[in-house]
Each structure stands twice: as structure tokens, then as C-alpha cells.
A and B are shown apart, each in its own frame.
Chain A
């Protein structure tokens, strides 16, 4: 086919599609019309006629014949010779569907089997001519068609001989002559459209044909005029700009640049609006869907559509079709009841289904509501528990609304039995995911027995997306904001603990979870380089990253990055490692980045043909300085994770994580006084957490207390002790009490909200924020959080009470204990614990310091020591002390993270009296009570000398 024909054919296809998109509505309207609406019937007639004409011109005979047969039926209707019945409309709809299919790829239209349809239409015409009742004659054939969508069920062995009957031809010839005038009109319209149509691409194969048609869009002439006017203005302003630059007139630049700015914004807006399409393109097809489904299910449903004029970006409109269809099908199938059931429930037998679109705060909201049976939260809850998605306790804590929302959870389908119409194994989670792809968010609200509303919020456009810009080896990438969960900084001394390697997989330990980490350099062929600490100069990474899989692969055992070996400069001990945590519908992972830049609204630009099959990038954008940044496709990038490996690791990680928690990390409870007033409490000090009702609060003296477990629990508030801020009581009727023990009594700390429990290593700043009630500060997720000293808080709150409580335990004896521990965190914690029960504590950071302290303080009656310490470890210190006979009876308790019979044996051999696990507060205090005794009166120990 030469080029001219190709172009005309393209035009024919586009035009026919447009006509056919309206024919469905028109046919449905015909079903509802009373008498004959001549305009309406004529419109359908003309559509079929122009398709027939075009098909004839291009020699698509089957297409022509089908259009022709349908046209004949319309002609009879127009002439009042045939009364419209639902069966006739159904067959016309099926015919229209087949026409649409054939037109999609007209070259292949000859392959379609139109025999059955032709038989039906010719049958209708034939019966009418003979004066028989069409209803009887066609019922058999038509019923076979009425419940098929898009004529899918047409039998290939259709009776071909029906296709041409004498009646048929005669009618056709009649009408052909009669409609010459119409044809002229249509041709004229077609020519108009040639002028309006945007230049379309010339595609050569059938496969790309659909996308070709989708690539052109109709734009209002007035909008083009406006664009032209803006372009003109821009040209003038440019001239002014060039002139002032030529003349070196700096002052004139300012107003001109402002004008450029203004025009650019207007131009951008105007151009964006050319992409906008009204949503009725999607909505209109639902009339047919609802009609067909309700007929099939014997339901009586009225569909109301509002807000068809709402405009959205073409891309979003296209992506809406499937999820909305699913929701509509759900509503018709599961939501709305059968007429009898409705009447029994005291409703009108006609069910209401409404689809509404509206603008709301720069977004578009689509609501699909029905007055059907609604969603039963109990059933949802039962199913969620049954499927093991949630535990009964978790469900019990959820509101009804939250339970209803569970239908969006992966693997949830509400129909108890899968029906043909919805629930074909495709749950609501797919709806949610599809919407998420275009930045949409779905929510559901339902009242049992009264109906369901599903609301969808969508952005207006996808052409500009808010993103986070990141730098890797000097290259900048953009990650769409929707995918970014959080950004994590791992400080140098935490790297070893939090970033580990399992087999081929690097993982990040994040709040007790293991998250796969992706090193984009390895996957995206980026020339790896690193910034020299200090100078910031970039150097090429010497390793060939694509070939060298580093030295981590060997055993498949858990190995740790060794920051000191210089093995991998990217995890240099001196540098913080930044990780962007990214989530897609199905996975969550971290991307290691060199630099975190700002967030920005970026304009999405498409990539060329070479990237058509690459899932790694969603496009590219141009940065302020003119450089190109690629937009990462979070879904595609997740493909870099070896899934099997990842699953295995995550499973292993659970156990592994627990072990490491008892050795190197400690848990912190993060609590809120208000959203900005956040504190951390070492979890080992917390006995339990209680939720109390404000109405149970009693005022005792100057403070508060609450009746609790048959006694009185004194309460301490953060306000007035460490905070001046008013607490924000989130659950207005309740507050939380963090219960801890002082002496032998329990005291509750009132907090507004429990935020989290986090794992943390020993990286606590004990200097900067230290004050009464605060023992230090730490950084979690880039926020500074103060570490509470609970005993300090209590002391500030009520010194008398504190003294009273601690005196209950120890009386007024002031026993002095030496605490030797290298970790500042544990040292502070244990010192506080010991002090809280009345001991006088002297601290030392290692064995040597411990011995110095013993020499300097002759009144030390007990030693509590760590084992692993620099310079001189705990066991060496104990051996040294015990080598003096005077010190033979001094109680020494070892506290350590490393336990086991072997270690204990060594400890006892060295002369330790008791062995304790770190962080076990109760045991430590019990041991102290057991071992600490006042020193004998004639105590005069010698000076201890160390051997070196």
C-alpha cells in the first residue's frame, strides 16, 4: 500500500473508532427510547454507513458486509417497521463490538468470523419483511449472543448461506441510492478532520497500530490559539532579553527575566492542558458493562454518572479503565442485591450505582457508591484471621473502617465463591496496585446493609512528579517520592553491625528487620568512583565492578563488611552510609547512595527506543544546571534482588537478629510527650507499659497516682521535669504509663504516645544534652532524641519520694561499688540502676582504670566488671586483684554479653564470684544485695600493682 493509502486508512480507522465509541451509548439510549427518536437512530445509521463505505473502499469485505447487515436493521427501525427490543439491542451491541475489533486491525478483518452475526441481522430483516414477529424468530439465535461480551462466543460454524438473501440485497440497493446525500456530508466532515488531526506516525505493522492511534489527541482550536499567542509573547520577550544582553543593560534584565518566568509558567500550563482529557471516555463504557451484567445476574440497577467533564492527564485516563471496571463489576456482582432480597430488606427493588468524579484540592476524586448490602466487617475480620493475614488480637485493635480496608490487602477476595463476573482470582489489591502506578490512592467506606463507597484520589498529571534526587558516583538519579519510605544514615561505627552480607545479598538491619540493599553501581554500569575524604576529589574505583563480585561470595555464610580492611572504599570506616528505603507495591528495599540531594518537582522526559525494554528507568529529566538525571523505576530496580536469596536471608535474619541484639545492641523505647517532644528510654528499665483512663487519675498531694494492682502507682509527668511542653494526649481519654521500679516500688512515667521500639548500638552522646533527667542524646533517623534518665526524672519530680523509695531497700548504708565497663551506654545504665537503689557508684572505663580506682578509693566494697575491654580486660583485672591476699574476699561480679559454660568457667577460675548477663536489671540488683557488705573496720588493703 502506498503512502497516500496508508494515511487515508489511518484516518478511516481513527474516525471509525470515534464513531463506534459513541454507538454503544446510542444503542443503549435506543433501548430506552419511547417511540422512535429519528435523530438518534439516524446517528447510529450514519455511523454504520460510513464504516461500510470506508470498508468498501479498502476492500475489507467482511467488515463491509457486517456494517451493511446492521445498517439494514437500523433502517427498519427508522422506518417504524421494526420495534426495538432488548434482544435486538443486544445483537446490535455484539455487532458493534465485532466491528470495533475488526477495525482495530482492518488488514486482519477478513479473519473474523461474522457468519453468526450476519445470520442474526439478516434473520431479523427477513422476518420483518415477511411480517413475522421478530421476537420469536430471533430469540434462539440472539440469546446466544446477548450474554457474551464483545461477541466472544460466536460459533465458528455459523450458517454462511444466510448471509445473502434476496431481501437483503434489495434493501441495500434502495438505501444506497437514498443516502448519497448523506455520504457527501460525511465526506465533508472527514475532510475537516484531516485538517484538524495532528500528524500521526506512520506505522507499518498491525501490532503497533493501536498505539499509533493512541498517540494522537484532539485539541481545542482555542487552546492552540492560546499556545500560539504565548509562543509569540515568548519570542518578543526573548528579543528584549537578547537586546539587553547585547547592550549590557543589567537593569533591564530583571523585568525581562520575570516576564520569561511568567510566560514559561503559563505556557507550561497551557501545554499541559492539551494532554487533559475528560473522564467520560472511561465512564461511558460502564453503561454497557452495567447493562450487560445486571441482565446476566437478574438484577435491577440504575446507573448514575456525574462529573464526566472532569479532566485528567491522558496517561491516567488510560490507566483508569481496568481498575474502575473491576470496582463496577464488584459493586454489581457482590454489592447490589437481587430485587427480591432488596425488597425483603425494605429497599426499593431497583439498586442504585453511582460513579462520580470531582475536583478536590488539586486532585481528582472518583467515587463509586452503591446502596447494596455493604461490606460486613465481621466477615472480613474472620477471613483475615482465617487466611492468617492478621491475628485475632490485631483485628481486635482495629476500627471497623480499618477492617473494611483489609479488602485491599494482597490475597483478599471478598466473594466466598469465585463467580464468573468478579473475583477471578484478581483481588482488590490489584485495583490498588494499578491505581498506585498512576499515583492514585483508593479507600473504601461501607455500612453493612446500606451500601459501599469506594473513593479514588488521583493526581491531575504524571508529566511532573515530585521526586527525591540522589547522587551515586557523581551521577544524579531521581526516585519518585511515592516510592520513598525513608532515608537512613548509618554512622561509621554502626556500619559493621547494621550492614551485612549474606551470600550475594547485602542487607541493612533496620528496626529489627533485614532489608535487602541494592548497590546500583553493580547493576547500572556506573563508573564507580568515590570522593576522597577531606578533599572531596573523585577517584575512579579500580575494581571492575561488573566482573569482580567482591570477596563476599565464598561461603554463603553471613559475613560482615570489614570497614578497616580497605576492602571496599564505599563502606569506608570514616564515612556515613546513606540509604534510601524504597517501597513498591510488592517489595521494600534500600538503595545505597553517595549523596542525598533535595526533593524536586521533575518533568518526565521519555527515553528512546534503546530503553524500551529496560525496566530500570521510568524516564529521564533535566536538572536545573542542564544535566540529565535518570528516573529510577522502583519496581524495575527491585528485579536486581535475588528473590530466593532474599527470602532465605529474611528468614535467617530473624534468628540472627535476636542473637545480635543480646550482644551488641540494646532496645530503646521511643515515647512522645508531643509530636516534637520525643524521648528514648532503655527498654530494660521498663517493667511494663500500661494504658490508663484519665478518669481513673487521682491527685495525691502535689502529684498524680492511680490505683493499680491493688496498690497505688505514683505517676511522674515529663512536663515540669524534663520538658516544658504541654503533652499532646493523642487518644484523648487515655494515657500511657511506663512502669519502672525504684527500690522495691513501682513508679509510672506518663507519656502521650508510644512511638516505637528501636535497636540501637552504643553510639550515644553523653555530653551535649546532659542535664537533670536526661542522660544523653542519640540520633535516630536524622532526629535527635534525648535519652531519659528515669531516676533523674523521678528525682526532679519529687526528691523526697525518691529518697523514701530507695531507702526502703538499703536503709542509710552508703556502700561504694566500683563499676568497670568500657561502653558508655552500659556504664551509665548500670550506674544509674545501682544508684537508684542507693549505692554509691564509682566508674572506670577499663581494667587499668579499675585498679587505679581501687587504689584511690579504699572504701570500695564490691566490684562489678565487664569482661571485654581495651587495655586490660575484666579477667586480667580480676586475676590481678585476687593476687593480693587482702583482696581475696572482695566480691566481684562479672557482667557480660558473652555467656556460656566455657566463659563462666574461665571467669570463676580467675576469681569472679558471680556471673551476670548484661541488661538484666533484676538479677544485677539481686546479686549486689547478696554480695555487697560493709567493709570490716580494720580494713587496710595494700596498693595493687599491675605487671606492666
Chain B
């Protein structure tokens, strides 16, 4: 899955909503494999500072990324959950503060990203989803996982 969707590509879909610092972020349900409580994370040296390490997920080694660092926002990740996503045939973990919700999204409520979202660059997001009370920033997995240096 390449994840270069725009706001128009999101149909009616369930959205997994989670929090990263002040950002309410979301992923379409088809991008999420699993949500886990973080097991022990083994730190691994990597040239990408946002890689926090690897975890053992039922015998598979899964690289885990700190969303604070990928998004370039200050502060310390509370690390309440890991959102397991599939990206380019690999399973990867996103370390987030915590999972907030799972909502049913409607296609017409997605809109393009106008600019930076709470301190994170607009390029990390595909779209905004308008919930009653607030906006959910839909993550661009490619930008978040590969970062600039790998693109």
C-alpha cells in the first residue's frame, strides 16, 4: 500500500483516532493492522532518529517509530499504545500517546490540509476529517515512516 491518498480518496471508512501531543491524528481502518500495548522496545541504532527500536510481535521483528520525532514535535511520547500499520509489505509500529477512539467517517467530511497542524508540517498529513467538536489529521504514512532522508 503506497498511501498517497488525498482527501478525495477517503471514502466512507472507520477511522482509528489517537493522540500525539496536541495533535488528534487518524488512520483509515484499512491501514491499521492492530493496536497493542507497547511490549518491551529494544532500542536499535539507526540513522533515523525517529526509529525508537524494535519489538517482538509474535516472533516477528517490528520496527517502531516515535511519532513525536517523525512529526518533529517537541515533548516526550507517553507511549500508551503502538498502532501497527502495514506499509510497503512491512509491518511497522507507531508509538503514540494513546488511542482515543474509533469513529465512522463519512467521505464528505474529509477536506484538504490547509497548512501546518499544531506544529507539525502539513506534508505529514493527507487530509483533515471534520468531527463534531474538532478536526482529525489523517496521517500520510509514507511521510511519517520514511521521513525526508529516505524519500
Q: Which residues of A contact B (CB under 8 A)?
A: 201, 475, 523-527, 605-611, 613-614, 616-617, 619-620, 622, 626-630
Q: Name the contact of B43 in the complex, choosing from A201, A525, A614, A626 (C-beta under 8 A).
A: A525
- Chain B proximity of A736: nearest CB distance (Å): 50
Q: A609-B146, A628-B56 are in contact. List 13 more A-B contacts (CB 8 A).
A: A524-B44, A525-B43, A526-B43, A607-B63, A610-B63, A610-B150, A611-B46, A614-B47, A620-B54, A620-B61, A622-B56, A628-B54, A628-B61
- Chain B proximity of A336: nearest CB distance (Å): 48
- With both beta carbons as reference points, the residue of chain B lying nearest to A201 in the complex is identified as B89
- With both beta carbons as reference points, the residue of chain A lying nearest to B47 in the complex is identified as A614
- With both beta carbons as reference points, the residue of chain A lying nearest to B53 in the complex is identified as A628
Q: In the complex, A606→B54 CA distance in Å?
A: 11
Q: In the complex, A611→B56 CA distance in Å?
A: 16
* CB pair B45 A525 closer than 8 Å: yes
CB neighbours (8 Å) of B134 from chain A are: none
* CB pair B45 A608 closer than 8 Å: no
* CB pair A475 B90 closer than 8 Å: no
* CB pair B62 A608 closer than 8 Å: yes
Q: In the complex, A457→B60 CA distance in Å?
A: 31
- With both beta carbons as reference points, the residue of chain A lying nearest to B40 in the complex is identified as A627
CB neighbours (8 Å) of B146 from chain A are: 609
CB neighbours (8 Å) of B46 from chain A are: 610-611, 614
* CB pair B92 A608 closer than 8 Å: yes
Cβ of B88 within 8 Å of any chain A Cβ, yes or no, is yes
* CB pair A628 B60 closer than 8 Å: no
CB neighbours (8 Å) of A605 from chain B are: 59-61
Cβ of B51 within 8 Å of any chain A Cβ, yes or no, is yes
Provide 20 A-B residue pairs closer than 8 Å at the C-beta atoms, listed in order of the A residue.
A605-B59, A607-B54, A607-B61, A607-B63, A608-B54, A608-B92, A609-B90, A609-B146, A610-B48, A610-B51, A610-B150, A613-B47, A614-B47, A617-B44, A620-B44, A628-B40, A628-B54, A628-B55, A630-B42, A630-B44
- Chain B proximity of A66: nearest CB distance (Å): 34
- With both beta carbons as reference points, the residue of chain A lying nearest to B51 in the complex is identified as A610
Q: Name the contact of B56 in the complex, choosing from A524, A607, A608, A627 (C-beta under 8 A).
A: A627
- With both beta carbons as reference points, the residue of chain A lying nearest to B49 in the complex is identified as A525
- Chain B proximity of A593: nearest CB distance (Å): 16
Q: In the complex, A616→B45 CA distance in Å?
A: 8
Q: In the complex, A217→B38 CA distance in Å?
A: 35
Tell me how many residues of B have a C-beta within 8 Å of chain A. Answer: 24
Nearest first, the 9 closest Cβ-Cβ pairs linking A and B are A524-B45, A608-B63, A628-B42, A620-B61, A525-B45, A605-B61, A628-B56, A610-B51, A608-B90
Q: In the complex, A606→B62 CA distance in Å?
A: 10
Q: In the complex, A606→B59 CA distance in Å?
A: 11
* A627-B42 contact, Cβ under 8 Å, with A611-B63, A614-B47, A620-B61: yes
- Chain B proximity of A22: nearest CB distance (Å): 30
- With both beta carbons as reference points, the residue of chain A lying nearest to B2 in the complex is identified as A204
Q: In the complex, A892→B122 CA distance in Å?
A: 87
CB neighbours (8 Å) of A523 from chain B are: 45
Q: In the complex, A613→B45 CA distance in Å?
A: 12
- Chain B proximity of A213: nearest CB distance (Å): 15
CB neighbours (8 Å) of B61 from chain A are: 605-608, 619-620, 622, 628
CB neighbours (8 Å) of A525 from chain B are: 43, 45
Q: In the complex, A201→B1 CA distance in Å?
A: 11
- With both beta carbons as reference points, the residue of chain B lying nearest to A626 in the complex is identified as B56
CB neighbours (8 Å) of B54 from chain A are: 607-608, 620, 628, 630
Q: In the complex, A527→B53 CA distance in Å?
A: 12
* A611-B89 contact, Cβ under 8 Å, with A627-B56, A628-B55, A628-B56: no
Q: In the complex, A524→B44 CA distance in Å?
A: 7
Q: In the complex, A859→B63 CA distance in Å?
A: 80
Q: In the complex, A619→B63 CA distance in Å?
A: 12
User: In this complex, which of A605, A610, A614 has the most chain B Cβ atoms within 10 angstroms of its Cβ?
Assistant: A610
- Chain A proximity of B63: nearest CB distance (Å): 4
CB neighbours (8 Å) of A475 from chain B are: 42-43
Q: In the complex, A475→B45 CA distance in Å?
A: 12
- Chain B proximity of A203: nearest CB distance (Å): 10
- With both beta carbons as reference points, the residue of chain A lying nearest to B147 in the complex is identified as A610
- Chain B proximity of A599: nearest CB distance (Å): 20
- With both beta carbons as reference points, the residue of chain B lying nearest to A622 in the complex is identified as B56
Digit string of B65-82 for contact with A (CB within 8 Å is 1, else 0)?
000000000000000000
- With both beta carbons as reference points, the residue of chain A lying nearest to B88 in the complex is identified as A609
User: In this complex, which of A524, A526, A608, A614 has the most chain B Cβ atoms within 10 angstroms of its Cβ?
Assistant: A608
CB neighbours (8 Å) of B60 from chain A are: 605
- With both beta carbons as reference points, the residue of chain A lying nearest to B89 in the complex is identified as A201
- With both beta carbons as reference points, the residue of chain B lying nearest to A215 in the complex is identified as B89
Which B residues, 121 to 151, have Cβ-Cβ distances below 8 Å to chain A? 146, 150
CB neighbours (8 Å) of B56 from chain A are: 622, 626-628
- With both beta carbons as reference points, the residue of chain B lying nearest to A619 in the complex is identified as B61
Q: In the complex, A525→B45 CA distance in Å?
A: 6
Q: In the complex, A523→B47 CA distance in Å?
A: 11
- With both beta carbons as reference points, the residue of chain A lying nearest to B93 in the complex is identified as A608
* A526-B45 contact, Cβ under 8 Å, with A608-B92, A620-B54: yes
CB neighbours (8 Å) of A527 from chain B are: 43
Which B residues, 14 to 63, have Cβ-Cβ distances below 8 Å to chain A? 39-40, 42-48, 51, 54-56, 59-63
Which B residues, 85 to 129, have Cβ-Cβ distances below 8 Å to chain A? 88-90, 92
Q: In the complex, A616→B43 CA distance in Å?
A: 14
- Chain A proximity of B151: nearest CB distance (Å): 12
Q: In the complex, A626→B54 CA distance in Å?
A: 12
Q: In the complex, A780→B33 CA distance in Å?
A: 54
CB neighbours (8 Å) of A630 from chain B are: 42, 44, 54
Q: In the complex, A394→B51 CA distance in Å?
A: 52
- With both beta carbons as reference points, the residue of chain B lying nearest to A611 in the complex is identified as B46
- With both beta carbons as reference points, the residue of chain B lying nearest to A628 in the complex is identified as B42
Q: In the complex, A240→B90 CA distance in Å?
A: 33
CB neighbours (8 Å) of A613 from chain B are: 47
- Chain B proximity of A109: nearest CB distance (Å): 26
Q: In the complex, A630→B51 CA distance in Å?
A: 15
CB neighbours (8 Å) of B55 from chain A are: 628
Q: In the complex, A525→B52 CA distance in Å?
A: 11
Q: In the complex, A614→B46 CA distance in Å?
A: 7
CB neighbours (8 Å) of B88 from chain A are: 609
CB neighbours (8 Å) of A628 from chain B are: 40, 42, 54-56, 61
CB neighbours (8 Å) of B92 from chain A are: 608
- With both beta carbons as reference points, the residue of chain B lying nearest to A612 in the complex is identified as B150
- With both beta carbons as reference points, the residue of chain B lying nearest to A621 in the complex is identified as B61
- Chain A proximity of B126: nearest CB distance (Å): 19
CB neighbours (8 Å) of B45 from chain A are: 523-526, 614, 616
- Chain A proximity of B145: nearest CB distance (Å): 8
CB neighbours (8 Å) of A526 from chain B are: 43, 45
Q: In the complex, A201→B88 CA distance in Å?
A: 9
Q: In the complex, A476→B40 CA distance in Å?
A: 13
CB neighbours (8 Å) of A617 from chain B are: 44
- Chain B proximity of A283: nearest CB distance (Å): 32
CB neighbours (8 Å) of B59 from chain A are: 605, 622
CB neighbours (8 Å) of A626 from chain B are: 39, 56
- With both beta carbons as reference points, the residue of chain B lying nearest to A620 in the complex is identified as B61
Q: In the complex, A690→B150 CA distance in Å?
A: 65
CB neighbours (8 Å) of A622 from chain B are: 56, 59, 61
Q: In the complex, A626→B56 CA distance in Å?
A: 7
CB neighbours (8 Å) of B89 from chain A are: 201
Q: In the complex, A235→B144 CA distance in Å?
A: 38
- Chain B proximity of A618: nearest CB distance (Å): 12
CB neighbours (8 Å) of B63 from chain A are: 607-611
- Chain A proximity of B139: nearest CB distance (Å): 17
Q: In the complex, A246→B98 CA distance in Å?
A: 32
CB neighbours (8 Å) of B51 from chain A are: 610
- Chain A proximity of B106: nearest CB distance (Å): 27
Q: In the complex, A201→B44 CA distance in Å?
A: 27
Q: In the complex, A578→B45 CA distance in Å?
A: 22
CB neighbours (8 Å) of A616 from chain B are: 45
Q: In the complex, A184→B38 CA distance in Å?
A: 55
Q: In the complex, A142→B89 CA distance in Å?
A: 47
Q: In the complex, A611→B43 CA distance in Å?
A: 13
